[in-house]
Structure 1
């Protein structure tokens, strides 16, 4: 009976102790056995015993509660246990791990003592005692964890990769602060640098030109006599993010998405050839957008021309002319480069107080100084950074980057100066030639004259209208096929309701099948539409001259009897609005298709604004005017409202305001002023609609009275941009999503001059370039006249409208 009582009491005590260690602390009277869990107070992290995939070895580690397979720290990474008999406990101020023979496998080696030490797992993932796990990171850098060195204690904090995904033993790769010269973050394999994330410039690391306003975290860099470190902090504790060096030496940032219940890759380093350390060798720059990617700096030539020709750039470049290192007109000078990832700073010197001019003078006085630049880019730049020896690991960024002043001999500076001036003259000459090439208004005037003359002929020969169509579209003018009205009527089953694809403000669109089996789309202008002969003529002239894979192809036209029709290639998936605004069909567009549509529409607009014969403003870009082919590739359609003008003509004003509310820019809707930035505004609206699955016009959120633009802006400034994304999007890449929202908000800014042009948009969408902060959108309520409250939508549909201002 006594034995039974003893066993019963022991069982109750054991249960009590075992339950207590599921909290966030253990005391010297407690321990953790294999199978027990220590959880942080907020249940964000857990600690216990685990085995990696495909391994029977046992380790003590810390992992995310939401993702038990994501281990962020391992105690005994180099000394695994062979069975499940491990025991972790606190004794004499030391945390120790014992095996089945009661031998110590691992310990914290704490030199400090305390009367009642408590081991606690914090909500940031730090195991805190008289010692803390954040001082001894493994392969993962968590928020608030330092990467650097304490000069007082000599403690160095750096990451080391796992040996493999199944083995947490220290691998070949590490991520650390290289403390030679100006400290910089590098990825090393042994003692060899494999990639360089760069040095601190006051805002971030020079190797990245990512979002300037990151909604998830902020960076911090400390460098004084006591310590140097780099770390980041979460802005919103609801997010999980981690930075990992994987067994292959790739540095990756992941962010956890509750909606998808998985980790999403945010960034990768190295991400391309140019991110590999010194890929182009000394005194050369790497530009991933060029072919070849490597090029010698001005004043330098390949050290090994044969190797350079065989695409081996590792030897780099050498000076054409040796430095003079003397004062006077024959001395050395500096050539300015912009938009660069600054060179390796391991052989550099810096000063926080010097001006850029003082920096230049100091560099000239030292023959070993090869370049200089600002230490800190904030407030226009300040401080001095000098380079000595070879300039290594320079890359050119498509956007962002920093200035670098490279030392050259005076003769080379003169030669490079003449070369650059010559290049500028050529550019000016090209601009002048373009300006002298038959201005757009003259072209339109001549076309108008020819058109009117043909209309007079049409009135005189009503009995032969088919031939008159031939005259209107003769090869000497437009070179477009002319379709017979009878053939079009037969192809569309006499414009039957079953063949109707949709309608806009000017007419209806019908599907047709020609006698030879070719499918077509016929845009038939309504008899009482606002679009007259001028708009029809404009559309024919413009589309006939446009050739781009992201513009709908015009096959021909017909003017016969009272009909005016355009015949296009048939787009089997109809228009974009039928997908993104329809709950069932929207699920057919995964994240890849969303990005593809956004990017391709941007390229189509860039062609219209910059690369086509005439500068063209669409003026009615919207979801219903984006058609989708069999592969869901988008094509911009409906050029009835488009305007063209050549040269560098800027804003134009009209008293006839034409377009669709919800997509019209403020300066156009209110004052009739339009430019290419009007299309940029419409494109920004389109991006936000594609991502959210909601229409801008008529949108009103229960929490506020803003339209979609205002809603997106509010989420952005409250660091909640992910909430904008429609559930139908499915799994998405977080950095791409954030960049798309950022670009959308940049495009819909109130002032046209604040909006990027489409060439910048295309580059931004395909890179990790630095982005400016967006300003408040224009028309962020539903009314174009006032931004004060939600208003009744102008129309139940999204047809185009024409308004006339008072003169």
Structure 2
């Protein structure tokens, strides 16, 4: 019988072999064109050239999106040619070598490993460990997650270790062609024991954006967003302060990047549907998120600025404008006088914690009393909103970087100190425009009756706010006729040597010459009308650019 021989050829693509290689040992190296790939085929490590640059860098990128680089090793020391090599040196450190310049980057491990290996994990983390130790032990001697570039990946923490002082922060690329550190940094601010994250310009240390401090539930300046795509986790304990996010859907990839303009963006990609990254969140979101957008003591809402109660614009001629930045000053300085209180501002991003004191054990009532005792205290709020609120946070000096927040219900209330007079025409806010109109019409009808419909023509001579009584339904009644005069049928005007009444409501001819008539009451009614409309008293009215009363201000 003849023998039949079968020849079976198994063709294994070289690409397939490289995809399975996620580790690098001491006897291997990586050159341009060679890569490490995570076991789930998500991330890839190798040499790349960004944009239009001629320089070469060692980096990590998404395998399915090679232009999306998430980490750069030698960002400060680029390779001028394509002859770079990634390998281990004799000390067990991972190094990037160049034929002409030697070592341009090193992992700089704190201890020497006997049998080191480098592994690119499915998380995108490049780790160094001893090959004799199980990878599941997470006993890493060095990891790329400790040295972020411009990207925060899922399960990667931005952390501050409160015991060692070690900190991770994001730094953007200088440009799309240059991964060296740009002009901004995303960093944790832990002043006054109140953690908040900020985007800060490196030169000059000026802030571009801040989240607001952590209030036990969220950062006060970040609206609460519920999404199935990602979940944000924040840790604040005696050991560390950190935040990270996790992806809930395995079909999704997500990353947070700080771009060269200082904008923090969360990108999400659905690998089963598209190869395009979509921006899910962005900070700053709008002009109101820009730090100190409205100057001191002002709240930004939409694109406009508004002084908080008890403050007035520093530049009256340029009040509600897009580029407003001069801030506001107090109309009446508080000096712990009797009757001072607080104006309640709901749903607001609390001011920056610049000049503050914090007492975590105080109640809100105790906080209010403590603030009233100190003439320098300008505002107060709970430091923690959990369980109905606790802790006392008091501000001293100007209130910086506030914005109105309409989204969600987990934001805070700020209590701003105001004088007794400011607490009053606030009570006037309870009167709607329709109510005010009805009151004005009621007073006018009362005067019409006195002047025309009554059997006897009556001149009131002391028409003012305190002589207008409101019943339970806010219907006005003219009262106090102690100074009233009755005119005869042919009498049109009278004169008195004794001028009696209330300054601010008196007609000029009556105040100066003692002449009074129907016109005197009509003048007083006009003053009263202005007060009802403006919510301000004629006498005692103040303005930064002149010394006129309310009538003078209106006529000006």
Secondary structure of 1:157's partner?
coil
Give the corresponding residue for 1:246: 259
**Total equivalences in the alignment:** 410
Displacement of 1:87: 1.0
Within 5 Å, give how 1:112-151 maps onto structure 2. Answer: 112-129=111-128, 130-151=141-162
User: 1-side partners of 2:355 and 2:86: how far apart?
Assistant: 46
Give the corresponding residue for 1:192: 206
User: 2-side partners of 1:265 and 1:30: how far apart?
Assistant: 39
Give the corresponding residue for 2:386: 378
Give 1:230's match in structure 2, choosing from 243, 267, 270. 243
Structure 1 residues 69 and 227, CA gap change in structure 2 (3 angstroms): same
Structure 1 residues 68 and 424, CA gap change in structure 2 (3 angstroms): same
Give the corresponding residue for 1:627: none
Q: TM-score, normalised by structure 1?
A: 0.48
Give the corresponding residue for 1:87: 85
Secondary structure of 2:191's partner?
coil
Deviates more, 1:247-256 or 1:213-222: 213-222
Give the corresponding residue for 2:297: 283
User: 1-side partners of 2:188 and 2:299: how far apart?
Assistant: 23
User: 2-side partners of 1:283 and 1:162: how far apart?
Assistant: 35
Give the corresponding residue for 1:208: 222
Give the corresponding residue for 1:436: none
Give the corresponding residue for 1:419: 428
Give the corresponding residue for 2:442: none
Q: Does 1:319 align with 2:318?
A: no
CA contact (8 A) 2:189 2:197 kept: yes
Structure 1 residues 123 and 365, CA gap change in structure 2 (3 angstroms): farther
Give the corresponding residue for 1:71: 69
Give the corresponding residue for 1:668: none
Structure 1 residues 412 and 154, CA gap change in structure 2 (3 angstroms): same
Displacement of 1:115: 2.4
Q: Does 1:175 align with 2:186?
A: yes
Give 1:160's match in structure 2, choosing from 171, 175, 178. 171
Displacement of 1:365: 3.6
User: 1-side partners of 2:218 and 2:320: how far apart?
Assistant: 36
Structure 1 residues 294 and 126, CA gap change in structure 2 (3 angstroms): same
User: 2-side partners of 1:46 and 1:166: how far apart?
Assistant: 20
Displacement of 1:404: 2.7
Structure 1 residues 274 and 240, CA gap change in structure 2 (3 angstroms): same
User: 1-side partners of 2:330 and 2:150: how far apart?
Assistant: 41
Secondary structure of 1:262's partner?
coil
Structure 1 residues 32 and 384, CA gap change in structure 2 (3 angstroms): farther
Structure 1 residues 132 and 347, CA gap change in structure 2 (3 angstroms): farther
User: 2-side partners of 1:21 and 1:113: how far apart?
Assistant: 29
Structure 1 residues 75 and 252, CA gap change in structure 2 (3 angstroms): same
Displacement of 1:410: 3.5
Structure 1 residues 427 and 28, CA gap change in structure 2 (3 angstroms): farther
User: 2-side partners of 1:366 and 1:82: how far apart?
Assistant: 63
Unpaired runs of 5+ in structure 1?
1-14, 431-807
1:644-696 deviations in Å (ceiling 9; x for gaps): xxxxxxxxxxxxxxxxxxxxxxxxxxxxxxxxxxxxxxxxxxxxxxxxxxxxx
1:327-358 deviations in Å (ceiling 9; x for gaps): xxx15322111111222124334344433223
Give the corresponding residue for 1:360: 368
Secondary structure of 1:361's partner?
helix
User: 2-side partners of 1:162 and 1:416: how far apart?
Assistant: 54
User: 2-side partners of 1:419 and 1:95: how far apart?
Assistant: 71
Displacement of 1:210: 4.1
User: 2-side partners of 1:410 and 1:276: how far apart?
Assistant: 30
Secondary structure of 1:253's partner?
strand
Name which one, 1 or 2, has greater alpha-carbon Rg. 2
**Structure with higher helix content:** 1
Unpaired runs of 5+ in structure 2?
1-12, 129-140, 440-556
Give the corresponding residue for 2:230: 217
Displacement of 1:63: 0.8
CA contact (8 A) 1:251 1:269 kept: yes
User: 1-side partners of 2:187 and 2:93: how far apart?
Assistant: 28
1:550-598 deviations in Å (ceiling 9; x for gaps): xxxxxxxxxxxxxxxxxxxxxxxxxxxxxxxxxxxxxxxxxxxxxxxxx
CA contact (8 A) 1:22 1:37 kept: no
Structure 1 residues 391 and 121, CA gap change in structure 2 (3 angstroms): same
**Structure with higher strand content:** 2
Displacement of 1:405: 3.0
Secondary structure of 2:207's partner?
strand
Displacement of 1:161: 1.0
Q: TM-score, normalised by structure 2?
A: 0.68
Give the alignment's Cα RMSD to 1 decimal.
Answer: 2.8
CA contact (8 A) 1:46 1:64 kept: yes
User: 2-side partners of 1:429 and 1:255: how far apart?
Assistant: 56
Give 1:256's match in structure 2, choosing from 242, 262, 269. 269
Give 1:345's match in structure 2, choosing from 353, 371, 386. 353
